[in-house]
Structure 1
């Protein structure tokens, strides 16, 4: 009997290992990729990340089935630079994509509200150059069917839109950073890259249906699908049903709109905005539609799913619809609320499930990570001096470190939300911010002070000096463009 049990155990182990290696071999061949990018979603805007007001069951379930990153960062506190960093794997300071495309340039700032500011903002490149070998082009060259839906905002002219940057199909991607034409979030959209739907159709659900249809039609071939929501960017618009739901929930929870005077704006401290909550739930419903298409087509175990936001939540301007507490400030600021965002990576049966990682990662890391996970290293042409680091090892149960000592941010512009031109270095838990207006520094230890309330630049002067010199050398090494003092002559 003992021998029989041992024999059966060995057979079971052999079959398990055979199945594992067979799955791994298939995975190494060509796994699918679904990248979901949300616009302006804050670090605390999901149930899985602590929100008690917004309801996000589909995304929460994705987090339970994958790895949740608590220290994930965008390359910029505004959208276009982060989007470019995902596509190129490079710091925006290198490619000169340092502001949202359409922001004032040095030669026209006089016609903009920044004309009254002490500095002239740095020049930036308003197009992601065609010479860049994008993440989409890498997958396209590897034989993948590539698909884009939603917000692009990486080129002023059509020659720089998704079809020219590695995507076979483009639904809705153009120069716009928000749904500002037609009926905006509701059809008719008057979007040059997307047909209008039935009157009253809601944009996030339409983009999800387009993505799901693409998956249905390409389930037999490897695909790289990039669902880039316009949600939850302004204008703040949701359905009457969802708004009413959250007005009732707000009253039941006895919530009120609360703000604290901070910086030049009022900073929201409560998540209580019913319309914004409706937008978050609609976005979550849209994610559910796409995940359901993967499940129905039996593709979950061979699809890498990434969920991310392009910058922090909007908390200090334009209606201040959300709160990022305990983080400081929000979109447009170099404080944590502007650059720390939710990140979830899921890949059924291939990576850890229900794991939470505190390792700092940044948006450039997706490029080398997906190249490695998809097994494209041998055919990858390269994109020259990529700044991202593969975080593939973090996705296992074993590894909890990557070979990076520091991260940087460079935002030499005035943010529409009140932020000032600055640059940042973060090494371990230490974060130094340099502000160009008054050449001032602030130093924080994020382990002890995640809200960045206790400036240690005077107490830890040696640490501040060390980090400031390192930041200065990095800026010089990347040929970063700087804001300029106005000519007073």
Structure 2
């Protein structure tokens, strides 16, 4: 009898201990989503860059899965960010251009004298959208953002869309105070003079993970590290500039670096030492966060995603980089504008593997829910699919991908809509009401349209694209009745001559040994530990 009682007591004790252990385990995995800004497909060492140095992102690729056919949902930032948050294509949530850009008749103030007036668009992420942050918060996650938001003015900031802790996310789409403190950011306290913004955002994320584990070890978190890097205006330390300037010289500085492609000059070489420094600082911050994730033992139960909000800047803005062999860059309708780097890590993934199945920004919402074992919300993330069956089961979903940008880009992009189906890609242009057909397997650089050779494919894809545009009730640009072709021709002539010459001159000056942007730049950016 005594043995039976003791056995019962021992069993009860073991069950109680087991329950305590289970109580300490997070019910769902953590999610660390790292988003770069304007970071191109060819801007990483693991994607083939010989100039930029990204050891921490390369490590993430070697420990996780690298996607070679990953896309943003738009060629500019606000729309693609809204799609990440909602799981919807841009016409559905209404944010189709970067928030702040002119549209309709106000577009004339830009003095571009364009044929069309760009479509109007939403200036705030709609309040009725159930964001991934809201969904995870409602499922017991602590939600945190460090960095860029750019999805509306006050009242439509991160805390209004599901984020419980906000460090640096507000209306602005670029680092208002530059990349060194003081930041001029109402949601981020200034650090000591010279503190780097990317490093600061990395530290904020590290501190959040430490505090969260200390206080809420049995509660999962969603950390959204959304860098302002590598968006202009570009700034780095003198040490970084000097290092990469010397590297460019050793690699051989090309006499010319720009070519005009339809509209603006486009950079053809990677040798911008300031841009390389901005990349290095962001990569250092990524390394800091990944190291801390491992030190805390959180890598065993955390899904890590890295990607960019659109392609790299090859023209317009800071004319930062080249995405060759991809054509174009940010703001443009070609692959350089929408194809982006992407990696994913989780415990048990096929480390170092490469996935060439096309995926898009709308896929991350359902992927996170799927991996976390949470209920799907197909009425919300209706334009995304979970990537997990692709990675775990080798699934190859048959679907078409769509883009809609009824605007003119600062970087030379033209009002257009796009469909990719298999290896085929069709771009429809609103100025001319004609399409260009490409086969990406045969011509990744989109150098030669195949309309004449494959008229049936043009008809098929145009029909599917137009049907989709009707389905999502897409807003379209309209003809400007005040259009003056002579004035537009003069603008484009200046781009082909004055802008081209100015960019070549600026590039060569930046690569000189005695270069500095102004008398106080280096002094104001002293490196801070």
By how many angstroms is 1:330 displaced?
Answer: 0.4
**Residue in 1 that maps onto 2:167:** 171
Superposed CA offset, 1:253-306 (max 9, x none): 123362222122211111110000011111000001111110110111111000
**Residue in 2 that maps onto 1:270:** 269
Q: Distance in 2 between matches of 1:416 and 1:150?
A: 23
Q: 2:481 is matched with which residue: 458, 462, 487?
A: 487
**Residue in 1 that maps onto 2:399:** 405
Superposed CA offset, 1:193-232 (max 9, x none): 0100001111000000000000011121310000000000
Q: Distance in 2 between matches of 1:110 and 1:453?
A: 32
Could you tell me whether the CA contact under 8 Å between 2:362 and 2:381 is conserved in 1?
A: no
Q: Distance in 1 between matches of 2:471 and 2:377?
A: 24
By how many angstroms is 1:488 displaced?
Answer: 5.0
Sort the Cα spacing of 1:337 and 1:56 in 2 relative to 1 into closer, same or farther, 3 A: same
Could you tell me whether the CA contact under 8 Å between 1:152 and 1:161 is conserved in 2?
A: yes
Helix, strand or coil at the partner of 2:146: strand
Q: Distance in 2 between matches of 1:479 and 1:63?
A: 38
**Residue in 2 that maps onto 1:463:** 457
**Residue in 1 that maps onto 2:488:** none
Q: 1:47 is matched with which residue: 31, 45, 48?
A: 45
By how many angstroms is 1:386 displaced?
Answer: 1.5
* Runs of 5+ consecutive residues of structure 2 not aligned to the other structure: 1-20, 484-529
Q: Distance in 1 between matches of 2:70 and 2:381?
A: 22
Could you tell me whether the CA contact under 8 Å between 2:88 and 2:380 is conserved in 1?
A: no
**Residue in 2 that maps onto 1:12:** none
Could you tell me whether the CA contact under 8 Å between 2:272 and 2:320 is conserved in 1?
A: yes
**Residue in 2 that maps onto 1:240:** 238
By how many angstroms is 1:313 displaced?
Answer: 0.4
Could you tell me whether the CA contact under 8 Å between 2:86 and 2:132 is conserved in 1?
A: yes
Q: Distance in 2 between matches of 1:263 and 1:244?
A: 34
**Residue in 1 that maps onto 2:504:** none
Matched, 1:423 2:417: yes
Q: 2:434 is matched with which residue: 430, 436, 440?
A: 440
**Residue in 1 that maps onto 2:73:** 75
**Residue in 2 that maps onto 1:363:** 361
Q: Distance in 2 between matches of 1:272 and 1:302?
A: 39
Helix, strand or coil at the partner of 1:425: strand
**Residue in 1 that maps onto 2:491:** none
By how many angstroms is 1:395 displaced?
Answer: 2.3
Helix, strand or coil at the partner of 2:354: strand
**Residue in 1 that maps onto 2:56:** 58
**Residue in 1 that maps onto 2:310:** 311
- 1:268-417 to 2 correspondence within 5 Å? 268-349=267-348, 351-377=349-375, 383-384=379-380, 386-396=382-392, 398-402=393-397, 404-417=398-411
Q: Distance in 1 between matches of 2:123 and 2:136?
A: 25
Matched, 1:185 2:185: no
Helix, strand or coil at the partner of 1:160: coil
Aligned length: 457
Matched, 1:136 2:133: yes
Q: Distance in 2 between matches of 1:86 and 1:352?
A: 24
**Residue in 1 that maps onto 2:468:** 474
**Residue in 2 that maps onto 1:90:** 88
Query: Considering only aligned residues, what root-mean-square deviation do their CA atoms show, in Å?
Result: 1.7
Sort the Cα spacing of 1:247 and 1:388 in 2 relative to 1 into closer, same or farther, 3 A: same
Could you tell me whether the CA contact under 8 Å between 2:419 and 2:465 is conserved in 1?
A: yes
By how many angstroms is 1:26 displaced?
Answer: 6.4
**Residue in 1 that maps onto 2:208:** 214
Q: Distance in 2 between matches of 1:418 and 1:488?
A: 21
Q: Distance in 2 between matches of 1:98 and 1:107?
A: 17
Runs of 4+ in 1 over 6 A off after TM superposition: none
By how many angstroms is 1:105 displaced?
Answer: 2.2
TM score, norm. by length of structure 2: 0.84
By how many angstroms is 1:240 displaced?
Answer: 1.1
**Residue in 2 that maps onto 1:7:** none
Helix, strand or coil at the partner of 1:341: coil
Could you tell me whether the CA contact under 8 Å between 1:65 and 1:348 is conserved in 2?
A: no
Q: Distance in 2 between matches of 1:434 and 1:342?
A: 25
Sort the Cα spacing of 1:393 and 1:26 in 2 relative to 1 into closer, same or farther, 3 A: farther
* Runs of 5+ consecutive residues of structure 1 not aligned to the other structure: 1-21
Q: 2:114 is matched with which residue: 104, 113, 117?
A: 117
Q: Distance in 1 between matches of 2:410 and 2:133?
A: 30
Superposed CA offset, 1:395-436 (max 9, x none): 22x41412x420110000000001110001111000000000
